[in-house]
Structure 1
Amino acid sequence: AAGRSAALQTQIAAMEADCRRRWGGVELSAIPGVAAWRAAYKGFGIKKTSYRSSVERLIKRVLGGGALPEVNTLVDLYNAVSLDSGLCLGCDDLDLIEGDLAFRFARPGDTFIDMGAEDGEDPNDPPKDGEVVYADARHVLCRRWNWRQDARTAVSAQTRRAALTAQSNGCGDVEAAAARLADLIASECGGRRRIVVADRAKPTATF
């Protein structure tokens, strides 16, 4: 549902205040969640500072005095948990997804419609060959691991089933973040949830 409840607004404001308390005056590069993804981006050849992980953009926004964007309840919840945990979180409408979900290398013919394209930017922005992407069987859902999301599977107030991802990259407690997010969703949106974990030892999961 669109719009935040008073209780949710209070919780999100508290998370924003805690972020400023913990990280105010600290260089972004020294924040563990930011540093882990900067190193990962550098490792797969991304040198431009215009490409930053989703969690870095949220933290930078809040430390700069801004508030988390108000989009819809589900998006607001996962952004808040991302900010609080220092992990990259994302979400797609499961009814708009085709086939299996996977983090993989980009392939020739992959398509991507940039949900975050700014004025003057072409939203039709396919990934470079070999780039790390999150994709379903049809197209790329997120470029550069967790940089920007495709518009075609974005969640909305009409979403009834969603697939959320929490990515730790060796930094932070992904299971605790997932559990907290699941509890918040149950409180604010209702519904059923299932949490599965994939890692290097077990790279596939069924849900």
Structure 2
Amino acid sequence: MHFDHAPAIWSQYPELTAGVLFVEGIHAQASVDGAVAQFNAIAQARLEGVLSEGELPEIQAWRRAFQRMGLKPTQYRCASESLLRRFRKEGALPSIHPLIDLCNAASIAFAVPVAVLDASKVAWPLQVRHAGGTETYLAFSGETEHPEPGEVGFVDAQGNAHARRWTHRQSGLSAVREDTACVLIVAEAMHAGAAADVRKLLDALAQAIGQAWGVAPRVALLTAQAPRFALQP
């Protein structure tokens, strides 16, 4: 079992920083209200300093990446931008599951996309790579989609696409549910200073997860020179 980014991804996006956490012992009864409130306060303070979330350097970097992928960045937004837009308009994010609530709050605090996958729903290994045209994606609506050839996504050994358009939208197949116990969390950034910021994000999440679930996540920062994260449940 392992997770990595294909060499072509590192080659085409050398500014990429990727961080991962692997966590066992997750359940839906944990309380994360304190940590979520702290992250929300950070996000609120950052939004008060700009006209819109699109001005944040973390979001601008992902918009440039989406343009390089041939996507309109205001039509297909990275997950952190979408969450920040909702947070700015509504003043809060909906509660889904304690771990999702925590990771969404961390995502808006750092303006960095954070993917959370139920490890039991992935046919390992899992890789961020370009689609070949045969992959399948299960939408939250229950409909099956097929990513276009060349589209970047999280793809497993059985050709399941666990995300579309890279950091735009995750799959319902590996979404965290009430019975989820083991997860892979991936944070990816492209902006200047991304390595330091992603490390801070990982540390903050690891601390909050430890406090809420009493478990110690395995944490790693991936690079082109050390791109693989091996999982041993």
Name the CA distance, whole Å, in 1 between partners of 2:179 and 2:74.
35
Comparing 44-53 with 142-151, which one deviates more in the overlay?
A: 44-53
1:1-207 matches, cutoff 5 A: 1-2=27-28, 5=31, 8-24=32-48, 25-47=50-72, 49-115=74-140, 117=141, 123-138=143-158, 139-171=160-192, 172=194, 173-207=197-231
Q: Deviations over 1:41-78 (max 9, x none)?
A: 00110026221100001111111133122011111111
Tell me which protein shows more strand as a share of its residues: 2
Structure 1 unmatched ranges of 5 or more: none
Contact 1:90 1:165 in 2 (8 A): yes
Q: Deviations over 1:21-42 (max 9, x none)?
A: 2223423321112111111000
Q: CA deviation at 1:205?
A: 2.7
Q: Deviations over 1:145-195 (max 9, x none)?
A: 111111111111211111110112245311111121111111112233211
Contact 1:33 1:55 in 2 (8 A): no
Match of 1:196, as an amino acid?
A
Contact 1:134 1:143 in 2 (8 A): yes
- Identify the structure with bigger relative contact order (alpha carbons < 8 Å, sequence gap 6+): 2
Q: Percent identity?
A: 28
Aligned residues: 200
Name the CA distance, whole Å, in 2 between partners of 1:195 and 1:53.
23
Match of 2:60, as an amino acid?
A
3-state DSSP of counterpart to 1:153: coil
Name the CA distance, whole Å, in 2 between partners of 1:154 and 1:65.
24
Contact 2:58 2:191 in 1 (8 A): no
Residue 17 of structure 2 aligns with which residue? none
Structure 2 unmatched ranges of 5 or more: 1-26
Comparing 96-105 with 8-17, which one deviates more in the overlay?
A: 8-17
